[in-house]
């Protein structure tokens, strides 16, 4: 049975590892580390034999390797509930040619962003886990969001029995559409708060709450325990592995590659979870030549990949790609653990340095592992130019996050000449950031995001996702904006 251990484990192989259900319930380890597989699962025997299979079938093959304590019936029920008619594409995640690459469209779910791919299934995995572990406590889902995770988590957990979900987002720093998606969310168990700060502030506060023993004890007396819907939760990360296996299968079906041929993967990322999922997919047997990590002007990951020094002591930019406006990338900790040879003590030391000085330097073996990655970033001007260039060339419409990925990929090809077939993770619908996209295409500028949606649709004819239609007409239900210091009190007030 696969066990999960902390990235900060003192021993390389812990006899106290947790099964998948326990790790999903906990969300974060007792020592503040993140749960990772004690050892990677056996690779898929021959990915070329998966051609013709549907997304749900590939999801089962992947999830069953990581979540061995879930029965076949458990997983099939979770998968069937997650990937159903709420996705507007029958393929769930279509692979579409654009420019010189293939875009893996991860935005056809209910909230029009890639977070739906995992957060549609996480509530089902969690409720199954509670039953398996015979836990009667109610679960408080704490989530910090830079834009898209919040709505996807709210959508997934709304009215799920035995849970309350509390979401914190930067009040200034998400798009108008993203904010409205969260603040109109219905459900008897949902709580949404804007904070006067950025995503890093919200993430740090949530992590501090997870690791506050006195607060945990107080809530335990009332029958509550914490879990997370962020990608720090292994139950959120593993479902993201599925779509990279799926992308490789779709390339085979299209005749774009031959069995065993390597591909490159481009991922616009801030918290490093989405690109880490592609790294896990390679461990499962997907042949990846290069992981191309694309950042916006908050380019801490770019500098780390290129220098081996992680330095979060830098200016924070509010950009048109807010889901990447992050300086402390939580899931990088998991990569450090794997590249260090599962050296939890080293990772704990590096994270201590990051907490205390906002900086750390990678060890030699981690630096060697980083050579599998390419780091690049795009400025705001370059992002807008990329949106316009690809639309004028191929009539392919990108949101700002995907455009960052496309720009960094173009830079990579120019620098290296590498023409390996490439998949770019298309992480959100352009309509979620319509003000930016309208401006990038040279259309009359709009301050109001909803007017920009109409304008963009009229100009391009690209269909507006159902979840965004009529969004501006829904009543705002969540209006609280907090100081950073009020977050813990807001959690208690929501639950007690």
370-404 per-position pLDDT tens digit = 999 999 999 999 999 999 999 999 999 999 999 99
Residue 456 maps to a domain: yes
How far is residue 345's CA from residue 337's CA, in Å, rounded to a whole number? Answer: 9
Distance of alpha carbon 274 from the chain centroid: 5
**This prediction's pTM:** 0.94
Residue 446, pLDDT score: 81
Say which CATH number the domain at 347 has. 3.40.50.1100
- Asked, for residue 391, whether it belongs to a domain, the answer is yes
Angle between helices 122-132 and 72-82 (to 10 degrees): 150
Q: Does some domain include residue 152?
A: no
The vertex-88 CA angle with 169 and 49, nearest 5°, equals 105
Residues 166, 75, 186, CA angle at the centre, nearest 5°?
A: 25
Quote the number of domains for the chain.
Answer: 1
Separation CA 157–CA 143 (nearest Å): 11
Measured between alpha carbons, how far is 272 from 326 in angstroms, rounded to an integer? Answer: 10
Task: State both tokens at 493.
Answer: 């007030």
Measured CA to CA in angstroms, residue 321 lies from 61, 108, 143, 430 at distances of: 33, 19, 19, 11
Buried b or exposed e, range 184-198, using 16+ CB within 10 angstroms: bbeeebbbbbbbebb
Q: How many other CB atoms sit within 10 Å of the CB of residue 477?
A: 13
290 belongs to a structural domain: yes
pLDDT at 211: 85
Residue-range definition of the domain harbouring residue 453:
95-112+235-466
280 in a domain, yes or no?
yes
Which residue has tokens 């889902």?
A: 141
List, for the chain, all residue ranges whose pLDDT scores fall below the cut of 70. Answer: 11-15
d(CA 420, CA 438): 32
Rounded Cα distance, 9 and 39, in Å? 13
Q: Each residue of 63-90: pLDDT tens digit?
A: 999 999 999 999 999 999 999 999 999 9
Count of CB atoms within 10 A of residue 94's CB? 16
| Collapsed DSSP state (helix, strand, coil) of residue 36 | strand
Confidence (pLDDT) at 465: 97
pLDDT of 14 reads 52
The token pair at 430 is: 């352009």
Q: What share of the chain is helix, strand, coil (3-state, %, to 5)?
A: 45, 15, 40
Residue 227 lies in a domain: no
- Strand, coil or helix: 357: helix
pLDDT (tens digit per residue) in 454-487: 999 999 999 999 999 999 999 999 999 999 999 9
Task: Annotate 28-37 with b (16+ C-beta within 10 A) or e (fewer).
Answer: bbeebbbbbb
Is residue 403 assigned to a domain? Answer: yes
Number of Cβ within a 10 Å radius of residue 252:
20
**pLDDT at residue 280, as a whole number:** 98
296 is a domain residue: yes
- DSSP character at residue 379: -
User: What's the pLDDT at 203?
Assistant: 87
């Amino acid at each position: 049975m696969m066990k999960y251990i902390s990235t900060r484990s003192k021993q390389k192989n812990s006899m106290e590892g947790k099964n998948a259900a326990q790790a999903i319930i906990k969300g974060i380890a007792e020592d503040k580390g993140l749960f990772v597989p004690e050892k990677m699962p056996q690779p898929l025997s021959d990915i070329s034999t998966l051609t013709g299979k549907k997304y749900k079938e590939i999801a089962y093959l992947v999830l069953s390797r990581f979540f061995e304590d879930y029965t076949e019936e458990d997983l099939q029920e979770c998968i069937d509930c997650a990937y159903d008619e709420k996705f507007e594409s029958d393929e769930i995640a279509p692979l579409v040619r654009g420019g010189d690459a293939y875009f893996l469209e991860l935005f056809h779910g209910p909230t029009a962003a890639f977070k739906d791919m995992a957060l549609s299934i996480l509530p089902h995995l969690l409720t199954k886990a509670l039953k398996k572990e015979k836990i009667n406590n109610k679960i408080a889902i704490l989530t910090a969001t830079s834009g898209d995770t919040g709505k996807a988590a709210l959508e997934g957990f709304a009215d799920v029995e035995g849970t309350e979900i509390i979401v914190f987002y930067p009040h200034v720093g998400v798009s108008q559409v993203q904010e409205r998606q969260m603040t109109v969310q219905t459900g008897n168990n949902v709580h949404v708060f804007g904070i006067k700060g950025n995503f890093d502030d919200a993430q740090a506060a949530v992590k501090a709450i997870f690791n506050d023993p006195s607060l945990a004890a107080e809530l335990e007396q009332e029958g509550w325990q914490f879990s997370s819907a962020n990608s720090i939760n292994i139950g959120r990360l593993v479902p993201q592995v599925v779509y990279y296996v799926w992308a490789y299968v779709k390339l085979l079906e299209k005749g774009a590659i031959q069995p065993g041929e390597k591909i490159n993967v481009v991922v616009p990322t801030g918290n490093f979870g989405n690109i880490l999922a592609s790294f896990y997919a390679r461990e499962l047997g997907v042949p990846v030549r290069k992981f191309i990590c694309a950042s916006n002007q908050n380019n801490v990951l770019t500098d780390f990949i290129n220098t081996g020094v992680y330095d979060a002591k830098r200016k924070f930019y509010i950009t048109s790609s807010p889901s990447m406006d992050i300086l402390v990338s939580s899931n990088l900790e998991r990569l450090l653990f794997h590249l260090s040879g599962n050296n939890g003590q080293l990772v704990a030391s590096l994270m201590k340095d990051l907490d205390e000085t906002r900086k750390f330097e990678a060890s030699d073996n981690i630096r060697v592992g980083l050579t599998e990655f390419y780091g690049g970033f795009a400025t705001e001007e370059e992002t807008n130019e990329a949106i316009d260039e690809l639309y004028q060339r191929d009539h392919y419409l990108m949101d700002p996050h995907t455009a960052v990925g496309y720009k960094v990929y173009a830079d990579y090809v120019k620098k290296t000449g590498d023409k390996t077939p490439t998949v770019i993770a298309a992480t959100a619908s352009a309509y979620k950031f319509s003000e930016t996209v309208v401006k990038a295409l040279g259309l009359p500028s709009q301050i109001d995001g909803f007017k920009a949606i109409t304008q963009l649709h009229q100009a391009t004819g690209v269909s507006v996702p159902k979840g965004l239609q009529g969004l501006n007409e829904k009543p705002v239900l969540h209006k609280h904006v907090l100081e950073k210091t009020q977050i813990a009190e807001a959690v208690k007030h929501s639950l007690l």
